[in-house]
């Protein structure tokens, strides 16, 4: 039989307080980890989009600017930079358009809507019927769609924390996740191990 544990001396509340602080700190870290951007894919392409988007770059229309300290051109550049790079294993560069071409744009394009609350569904983004909101601040929301003319191929939405004055690393992370959410890959089409762009 084990000897009985010795009684605590001094301040008996010290161990409990230490444990309580440790638990509280762990909970805070957990909440912080969960506070990052979130995305949801609503409609994915029936096929791997990379099998028929045969270019390594796509035009990008950016609608909306909830940032109080950033001009529209800065927001468009930050959106393109955040989305560009390794998108689900493929290299893809988004090029912001100075003037949105809308559904008249020949071929594929990506449309992103950014606001301080609320999103626009993919079909409306591709139809070209969305107007930019002028309200600054709020909670960061965004939706993005891959369009073929006025037809929607895939779309997703995402959200983050409070809108900062300027696009920051949190915004870049949201755009990065949003690109992955829109350009989801059908892994069954990648069994040949070819990670290059189709020619």
Determine if residue 31 is left, alpha or beta; phi over 0 gives left, psi from -120 to 50 gives alpha, anything else beta: alpha
Average pLDDT over residues 45-57: 72
Is residue 32 a part of any domain in this protein? no
Q: pLDDT digit string (tens) for 151-185?
A: 999 999 999 999 999 999 999 999 999 999 998 87
- Give the residue-averaged pLDDT of 81-97: 92
Instruction: Select the more confidently predicted residue: 190 or 121.
Output: 121
Task: Give per-residue burial for 103-140: e unless 16+ CB within 10 Å, then b.
Answer: bebeebbbbbbbbbeebbbbebbbbbebeebeeeeeeb
| pLDDT at residue 135, as a whole number | 87
| pLDDT tens-digit readout, 17-46 | 444 433 333 333 333 334 578 888 887 776
Q: How many domains does the chain have?
A: 1
Asked if pLDDT for residue 6 goes beyond 50, the answer is no
| pLDDT at 9 (0 to 100) | 38
* pLDDT at 187 (0 to 100): 55
pLDDT value at 191 more than 50: no
Residue 5 lies in a domain: no
What average pLDDT score do residues 39-66 get? Answer: 81
Using alpha carbons, select from 127, 97, 133, 89 the residue that is nearest to residue 114.
133
Q: Radius of gyration of the chain from Cα atoms?
A: 23
Q: Higher confidence at residue 198 or residue 73?
A: 73
- Asked if the structure places residue 65 within a domain, the reply is yes
Residue 192 lies in a domain: no
For residue 112, give its domain range. 40-186
| Residue 114 is assigned to a structural domain of this protein | yes
Instruction: Kindly state the percentage of the chain with pLDDT values over 90.
Output: 47
What pLDDT was estimated at residue 26? Answer: 39
| Residue 72 within any structural domain of the chain | yes
Domain membership flag for residue 74: yes
Closest CA to 148 of 106, 108, 97: 108
Cβ atoms of 98 and 48 within 8 Å: the answer is: no
Model confidence at 195: pLDDT above 60: no
What is the pLDDT averaged over residues 116-145? 92
Within a domain: residue 128?
A: yes
């Amino acid at each position: 039989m084990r000897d009985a544990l010795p009684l605590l001396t001094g301040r008996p509340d010290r161990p409990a307080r230490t444990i309580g602080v440790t638990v509280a700190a762990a909970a805070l870290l957990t909440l912080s980890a969960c506070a990052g951007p979130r995305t949801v894919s609503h409609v994915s392409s029936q096929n791997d989009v990379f099998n028929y988007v045969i270019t390594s770059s796509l035009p990008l229309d950016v609608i909306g600017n909830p940032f109080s300290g950033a001009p529209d051109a800065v927001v468009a550049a930050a959106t393109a930079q955040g989305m560009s790079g390794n998108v689900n294993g493929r290299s893809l560069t988004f090029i912001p358009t100075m003037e949105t071409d809308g559904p008249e744009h020949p071929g594929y394009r990506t449309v992103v809507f950014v606001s301080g609350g609320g999103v626009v569904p993919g079909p409306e983004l591709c139809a070209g019927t969305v107007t930019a909101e002028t309200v600054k601040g709020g909670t960061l929301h965004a939706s993005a769609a891959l369009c073929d003319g006025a037809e929607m191929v895939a779309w997703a939405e995402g959200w983050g924390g409070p809108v900062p004055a300027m696009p920051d690393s949190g915004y870049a992370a949201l755009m990065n996740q949003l690109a992955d959410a829109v350009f989801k890959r059908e892994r069954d089409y990648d069994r040949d191990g070819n990670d290059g762009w189709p020619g």
